[in-house]
Structure 1
Amino acid sequence: MKRKRRLLLLGIVVLIGSHLGIPVSGSLEGMSAAASPDCFLPLEDGRCLPPPVRADQAPRPAARLMAAPTPRRPGVVVKRKPSAPPGAFRAALAAAGFPEAEALALPRWWRVPVPPGQDPEAVATRLRQRPDVEIAEVEREVRITFNPNDPYYGFQWNLPKIRAPQAWDLVTGTSSVWIAIVDTGVDYNHPDLASSRLWLGWDYVNGDNDPMDDNGHGTHVAGIAGANTNNGQGVAGVCWGCDLLAVKVLDYDGSGWDSDVADGIWYAAYWGVAFGKRTIINLSLGGPYDSSVIRDAVSYAQSHGALVVAAAGNQGTNTPFYPAAYPGVIGVSATDSSDGRAWFSNYGSYVDIAAPGVSILSTFPAPLTPPGYEPYAWINGTSMAAPHIAGVAGLVWSVWCRASAETVQNILLSTATDLGDPGWDPYFGYGLVNAEAAVRWRPAVTPVPPPGPYRQYLPLVSAACP
């Protein structure tokens, strides 16, 4: 019997940019030796993906109707063994009856569409038996899960709660840091998002570089992380000096596939290295099933210096939720305006920190806003909590530009305002994120005897950050 496992997507963001013509270092993984000089990101099957582009420089694409796309056939994601060359692997799959197999951006991973009338589980079992296949799993569906409230302009209680205004007295972010929102897309025409800070990444749903949000969730998450601020209109974002990168992996109804999510994670990390960005990847999505392809993508991103932030889930249970439960990922639970755990927020050993997630006002696509209302909405969810953490991480990384992702994570956790039981607990992790304390954090300095009659002064920051 065919089974479909579902991942719940808890947040989305889309950002845009323009073709920079920046060559990619040959040390980056996934490059093909036979690739054309014009191919910035060659895949193992010979296809190419272009780089992200700045929104204010990108040509405006033709309008696309917000209509239901042709459903994609179920697939199996397979990881080829290192001993199997890509070309030979592709030929072997075609000979085995899978001529439509395509490489993912994530090295060694391929998607094999299931032929009509065949059972996906049976196809996966058959592929696992091949000597050139390391892993074969049925592709899982992912969906967003958020609770819309009042789609109109209001107050943002959440930013004072995490002491963001006090942090802004010290730092508002830098373009050397970008926050990638891997989700449903972003309305790049929104007045609170359109700017040179917004980058247009790849749209894995439609196969182009127009990640326009046709759902609304991604635009909302993007606004929380880094909406234009101090511009006399709309709302404020946490890290409003940081760049944003939009990568669309979910369609108009908030559904998609784990292979696309994995590619979106890989894409953000890859181009972060290529463009010299300190990369934060926001994943307001997930589910109770461990996905090998997403796990590999998260590991790739972490090994390339990215900080991964993920929502803890909205089921109100302590069941492990992925990707938040993967090692090194910051798992984020949600709180209300009284510092209590949001009624829907998951809890458990994988929760590291908490952030506001109830009645959060942020940006919303104008085409999806009811007539007579401003393009803003209140939404509940751990989807909304996660970009608060991503934004504060951006502020910290703007101060400590030479810090590792692990150090930034440790700063966030060690400066959080303790809630619940003293110390770590499964509902709030180490507590509510505290933006001011995080950007004011300084490393402990061991006192040393002054040399001779001179007194030694140690700088708090060794050099100016870009």
Structure 2
Amino acid sequence: MKQMLINSAFADQVIVNATLNIVYIKPSLHRDSLNLRNMQHNWLLACLSLFASCACAANDVLFNFAGKSFYNEQHVLMLKAGDQLPAYEVNTSVITVKPRVNSLRNQLNGFYQQNGFQVLRTAATGFMDLQLSGANDYQSELLKLANSGLFAVVEPTSFGRYTFIPNDTQYSNQWHLPQVSAPAAWDLNAGVASVVVAVLDSGTDFNHEDLAAGPDAFDSIWRNPGEDAWADPTDPTTGNGIDDDNNGYIDDWIGYNFDQDTNDGSGLFDHGTGVAGVVAAKTNNKLGVAGVAGGNNSAGVAVMIGNIGSFAPNGAVLDDAILYAAENGARIIQLSLTIIQSAAIDAAINAAYINHGVLVVNAAGNSATPTVDYPASHVNVMAVGASNQFDGRVSTSQYGPNLEIAAPGVDILTTTIGSAYVSMTGTSFSAPMTSGVAALVLSRNPMLTHVQVREILRNSADKVGGYDYDYDVDFPGRSLEFGYGRLNAHAALLLSDSYQTLSGAIFLDGFEGDVIFKNGYD
């Protein structure tokens, strides 16, 4: 019932629109203004109370049966088998039963005839589908069958859904997405634009066909809500030349180039465009590839662009980029780089993580050493290693006690400059996969803290590869090769449903001080 008509003495018509949360009132012409105001006030309260009761009822459990909960969702009867499981539409015309072995055929036939049930089909296993007459409500029919004593099993039937397989033309070449159970995760949530992932890298081609708005009319690029739009959305030189939001950066409508101190976040090196595509290439848009959190033929999570150096990460501006992302609404900061340890970068990471509640994710490195590079080694950064198609460690992937999780990092098909696509290898592409799943978790449950998201990713990871996940009694469930395991998107989203309260805890896993003295993107 989207609208309810209410008769009143003061108005010709009162309409409560429960879909839009609006109460419409058309006053009667013969009422004086004072009485009208008083009566309007009382009736409006009554209408709002009625609306509130209707809104609550839409989500309340109507009844429980055989371990399943039934409730109303926009006038459709739905059922769930558990709090962490998805809801399904009930097939209200059919109930499945299995007669008891001692139930006689004539008893069953008499019962069916008396109650208007019709046997649609009988399986070799003894289960039967009964067509309901429609004369009674669904709950009554369930109870009638259950209380008859004739059946060993009485269960509702439902309409399921096919696991979401996107129509992106090159999806079949993206082995990594099924490996981390992304299609099953997309059945629960494919990403929402309110979750912002800052990709601080070599720049991103914001005009790429699978990132920018095209015929599908949606994109994966963050827009600064405080900054005036460019006159030409594809040309950063067409801004108004004003720092509209007073954040210290002029015309930063889609992010900023910190290395060149301009508002053009694109770059000459395709590393950043590839990383952005892993996170949020538009999904199910009949084009290119699918991102982990690229939506479902609609906007997925938003990529905030931060160019920190086209060919090498500039340590002098990395801290500025981290702070910019944290202060401008990013929930996740995605890094795929190594650099020498810096007090300024440490301070920026700590500010983002502790003060702004931002999850910081970084690639572990590709030097095959038994320690992860900086800044992945920082206590407030989630270090990600690379796995292969057989759930083994990629030989070049760095590992060790600071590694938290692994994700696919071989032949990852993603976006590249010029609306093209390329396969890339390295922990650089394992990290954005993890950032993308973190974004899915926040899309499904936006009230989670960064600490909780980090914990969910760890606790939902698959313990694959045959590694010793209990080598350290202080960190049970953690291995040197894969950390807490290989990323699992579907398990992470299911686990996120059980996190209901905010937590201020901070992970203190220990800090690995060894640093590989090299600068570069992994």
Q: Distance in 2 between matches of 1:239 and 1:250?
A: 25
Match of 2:302 among 232, 238, 243: 243
Gaps of 5+ in 2: 1-169, 214-218, 223-253, 295-299, 470-476, 503-522
The residue number in structure 1 matching 2:457 is: 412
Q: CA deviation at 1:340?
A: 0.7
The residue number in structure 1 matching 2:493 is: 439
Q: Distance in 1 between matches of 2:220 and 2:290?
A: 15
Q: CA deviation at 1:197?
A: 3.3
> Counterpart amino acid of 2:221?
L
> Counterpart amino acid of 1:197?
S
**Kindly tell me: are residues 267 and 338 of structure 1, through their superposed partners in 2, closer, same or farther at Cα, counting changes over 3 Å?**
same
> Counterpart amino acid of 1:411?
I
The residue number in structure 2 matching 1:294 is: 345
Aligned with 1:346: secondary structure? coil
The residue number in structure 1 matching 2:404 is: 352
Q: What aligned pairs does 1:106-117 form with structure 2 within 5 A after superposition?
A: none
**Kindly tell me: are residues 155 and 443 of structure 1, through their superposed partners in 2, closer, same or farther at Cα, counting changes over 3 Å?**
closer
Q: CA deviation at 1:389?
A: 0.4
The residue number in structure 2 matching 1:197 is: 220
The residue number in structure 2 matching 1:226 is: 280
> Counterpart amino acid of 2:335?
L
The residue number in structure 2 matching 1:30 is: none
Q: CA deviation at 1:205?
A: 2.0
The residue number in structure 1 matching 2:185 is: 167
**Kindly tell me: are residues 362 and 320 of structure 1, through their superposed partners in 2, closer, same or farther at Cα, counting changes over 3 Å?**
closer
Q: In the alignment, is the contact (CA less than 8 A) between 2:441 and 2:496 conserved in 1?
A: no
Aligned with 2:324: secondary structure? helix
Quote the sequence identity (%): 41
The residue number in structure 1 matching 2:195 is: 177
Aligned with 2:328: secondary structure? helix
Note the alpha carbon deviations across 1:92-111, whole angstroms, 9 max, x for none: xxxxxxxxxxxxxxxxxxxx
TM-score in terms of structure 1 length: 0.58
Match of 1:262 among 309, 319, 322: 319
Aligned with 1:296: secondary structure? helix
Q: In the alignment, is the contact (CA less than 8 A) between 2:361 and 2:383 conserved in 1?
A: yes
Aligned with 2:402: secondary structure? coil
Q: CA deviation at 1:444?
A: 5.8
> Counterpart amino acid of 1:222?
A
CA RMSD of superposed structures (Å): 1.9
Q: In the alignment, is the contact (CA less than 8 A) between 1:400 and 1:461 conserved in 2?
A: no
**Kindly tell me: are residues 203 and 415 of structure 1, through their superposed partners in 2, closer, same or farther at Cα, counting changes over 3 Å?**
same
The residue number in structure 2 matching 1:329 is: 381
Q: Distance in 1 between matches of 2:496 and 2:323?
A: 32
Q: Distance in 1 between matches of 2:395 and 2:367?
A: 9
The residue number in structure 1 matching 2:468 is: 421
> Counterpart amino acid of 2:307?
K
Note the alpha carbon deviations across 1:188-236, whole angstroms, 9 max, x for none: 1111000343031110122111111210000000000010111101000
Q: Distance in 1 between matches of 2:462 and 2:400?
A: 19
Q: Distance in 1 between matches of 2:198 and 2:378?
A: 18
Q: Which runs of 4+ in 1 moved over 3 A?
A: 442-445
Q: CA deviation at 1:154?
A: 6.9
Q: Distance in 2 between matches of 1:443 and 1:398?
A: 12
Q: CA deviation at 1:305?
A: 1.1
Q: Distance in 2 between matches of 1:307 and 1:442?
A: 15
Aligned with 2:337: secondary structure? coil
Aligned with 1:301: secondary structure? helix
Q: In the alignment, is the contact (CA less than 8 A) between 1:416 and 1:434 conserved in 2?
A: yes
Match of 2:266 among 212, 217, 239: 212
Note the alpha carbon deviations across 1:443-466, whole angstroms, 9 max, x for none: 669xxxxxxxxxxxxxx799xxxx
**Kindly tell me: are residues 258 and 190 of structure 1, through their superposed partners in 2, closer, same or farther at Cα, counting changes over 3 Å?**
same
Count residues in correspondence.
Answer: 282
Is structure 2 residue 175 aligned with structure 1 residue 157? yes
**Kindly tell me: are residues 207 and 341 of structure 1, through their superposed partners in 2, closer, same or farther at Cα, counting changes over 3 Å?**
same
The residue number in structure 2 matching 1:394 is: 439
Q: CA deviation at 1:338?
A: 0.7
Q: Which of the two has higher C-alpha Rg?
A: 2
Is structure 2 residue 328 aligned with structure 1 residue 271? yes
Q: Distance in 2 between matches of 1:297 and 1:319?
A: 23
Aligned with 1:295: secondary structure? helix
Q: CA deviation at 1:319?
A: 3.2
Q: What aligned pairs does 1:314-325 form with structure 2 within 5 A after superposition?
A: 314-325=366-377
Q: CA deviation at 1:260?
A: 1.1
Q: Distance in 2 between matches of 1:330 and 1:378?
A: 24
More RCO (CA 8 Å, sep 6+)? 1
Aligned with 2:410: secondary structure? coil
TM-score in terms of structure 2 length: 0.52
**Kindly tell me: are residues 427 and 209 of structure 1, through their superposed partners in 2, closer, same or farther at Cα, counting changes over 3 Å?**
same
The residue number in structure 2 matching 1:307 is: 359
Aligned with 1:235: secondary structure? coil
Note the alpha carbon deviations across 1:317-358, whole angstroms, 9 max, x for none: 023411111112110000111111001100011100000001
**Kindly tell me: are residues 461 and 163 of structure 1, through their superposed partners in 2, closer, same or farther at Cα, counting changes over 3 Å?**
farther
Q: In the alignment, is the contact (CA less than 8 A) between 1:182 and 1:248 conserved in 2?
A: yes
The residue number in structure 1 matching 2:21 is: none
Note the alpha carbon deviations across 1:242-271, whole angstroms, 9 max, x for none: 1110000012xx214212111111110011
**Kindly tell me: are residues 230 and 346 of structure 1, through their superposed partners in 2, closer, same or farther at Cα, counting changes over 3 Å?**
same
Gaps of 5+ in 1: 1-151, 367-373, 446-459
Q: In the alignment, is the contact (CA less than 8 A) between 2:386 and 2:410 conserved in 1?
A: yes
Q: Distance in 2 between matches of 1:290 and 1:281?
A: 18
